[in-house]
Chain A
Amino acid sequence: MLACGQEFEAGHRPLGETRVLTVLLIVHSLMAVALLGAITHQTVGVWWPAKKRTGSFVSSLRSVPSMTYTNAVIVLFILTMIVGSIIYTEYRVSIRVTLQDYRMYVPEGAFELKEHVASIALGLLPAYWYYWRQSLSQDRATTRAMVTTLVACIVWYNFLVGHVVNNIRGFGS
C-alpha cells in the first residue's frame, strides 16, 4: 500500500522500519544463540569438569576452560539486551496486543517474566564477573557456580520464550 509517498505494511509501520526491525530481530536471535552456547559450555564446565580429555564429544564439552568464556558472555549478554530493548517497543505496540486479543495469557505472562528476569540477569553481571575474576580461589567456587547457573537458566528461559513468541507472532506473520 502506498500512502503519502511512503510504503506501508498491512499494519501501520512504514515498510523500511519493519525491515530494520526484522534485521534487528535476526541479529538478536543470532547473538542469543551464541550467548546460549557460551553460557551452557561454561555451566557444564563448572559443574562437571573433565579430569582428563578423552576426545569424545561429552569430554570435550566438559573440559572447556570455563574462565575464558566470562568476558564473551558479558559482552554477548549486553549486546543481545541492547538489540532486544530496541525491538521490545515493537512487541509492546503490535505483538502484545495480538496476544491479548487472542487471550493467549500464558505466552504474554511468560514474556512479561522474560522482561524482568533479563533485567535481573543484567544486574547480576558485575557479580558474575567478580566471581570469575577470582577463579583461582576455591573458597568462592560454589557461589561462582550458582551465579553462573542462575545466569544460564535465565538465558535459556529467555531464549525459549522469545522463540515461542516469535513463532506465534514473528517473522512474516
Chain B
Amino acid sequence: MSIARAFPVFSAAFAVIYLACVQYNLAPFTYHAELMQWGLGAQPPRQGPAMYWYGWLTTSTLGATAVAALSLAVPASLAKRVWPGFVWLIPLGVIAVFVYILRGYFLR
C-alpha cells in the first residue's frame, strides 16, 4: 500500500477545509503584523491588521492530512473507482466560491 495514493485526497480536502477556515475564521493563531506579535486563536486586531492567513494554512494542512490518512483505510480497489477529476474540479469550485465571496470588490 502506497501512502502516495492519499495525495490527491489531501489536495481536494485542503481546498475545502481552507474555504471553511476563511469563512468561519478557524485560525489556531493570529499574527499582529504592526506589533510583530503572535497570539493564540483567532484574536481581534490590536493595533493595525490581524493576520489569520498563516493560521488558516496550518488548520487546512492538519485537516487535509487527517482526511488523507483516513482515506488510506479505503481499499485501493474501491478508491480506484472514484473519478480522479475531483482532484482539480474541487479546487476549481472552491476558487469559484472565493470569486463569489469577493465579488463586492469587483462590482463597486
Q: Measuring CB to CB, which residues of chain A are less than 8 angstroms from any residue of chain B?
A: 85, 88-89, 92-93, 96, 105-106, 108-110, 112-113, 115-117, 119-120, 122-131, 133, 140, 142-143, 146-147, 150
Q: How many A-B Cβ pairs are below 8 Å?
A: 102
How many B residues face the partner with a CB closer than 8 A?
39
Q: A89-B31, A119-B53, A123-B15 are in contact. List 7 more A-B contacts (CB 8 A).
A: A92-B48, A105-B108, A116-B18, A116-B22, A124-B11, A127-B11, A150-B91
Please state if B106 and A126 are interface contacts (CB–CB under 8 Å). no
Q: Measuring CB to CB, which residues of chain B are less than 8 angstroms from any residue of chain A?
A: 4-5, 7-8, 10-12, 14-15, 18, 22, 31, 33-34, 48-49, 51, 53-54, 56-57, 60-61, 64, 84-85, 87-88, 91-92, 94-95, 98-99, 102, 104-106, 108
Please state if B10 and A143 are interface contacts (CB–CB under 8 Å). no
Question: Out of A105, A112, A150, which one reaches B88, CB within 8 Å?
Answer: A150
CA distance A129 to B5 in the complex (A): 11
Q: When A112-B102, A117-B95, A120-B91 are in contact, do A127 and B8 touch as well, CB less than 8 Å?
A: yes
**8 A-B contacts (beta carbon < 8 Å):** A92-B51, A93-B49, A105-B104, A109-B104, A113-B98, A127-B12, A131-B8, A147-B87
Please state if B14 and A123 are interface contacts (CB–CB under 8 Å). yes
Residues of chain B contacted by A142 (CB below 8 angstroms) = 85
Please state if B54 and A120 are interface contacts (CB–CB under 8 Å). no
Residues of chain A contacted by B4 (CB below 8 angstroms) = 130, 133
Residues of chain A contacted by B88 (CB below 8 angstroms) = 124, 127, 143, 146-147, 150
Interface-central residue, B33, B34, B84, by most chain A CB under 10 Å = B84
Residues of chain A contacted by B48 (CB below 8 angstroms) = 92-93
CA distance A62 to B80 in the complex (A): 31
Of all chain A residues, the one with the shortest Cβ separation from B65 is A126
CA distance A126 to B9 in the complex (A): 9
Q: When A92-B51, A105-B108, A143-B88 are in contact, do A123 and B18 touch as well, CB less than 8 Å?
A: yes
Please state if A126 and B11 are interface contacts (CB–CB under 8 Å). yes
CA distance A139 to B70 in the complex (A): 25
CA distance A142 to B10 in the complex (A): 19
CA distance A69 to B84 in the complex (A): 22
- Nearest CB of B to A38, in Å: 19
Please state if A109 and B85 are interface contacts (CB–CB under 8 Å). no
- Nearest CB of A to B46, in Å: 13
- Nearest CB of A to B79, in Å: 13
Q: When A146-B85, A150-B88 are in contact, do A106 and B31 touch as well, CB less than 8 Å?
A: no
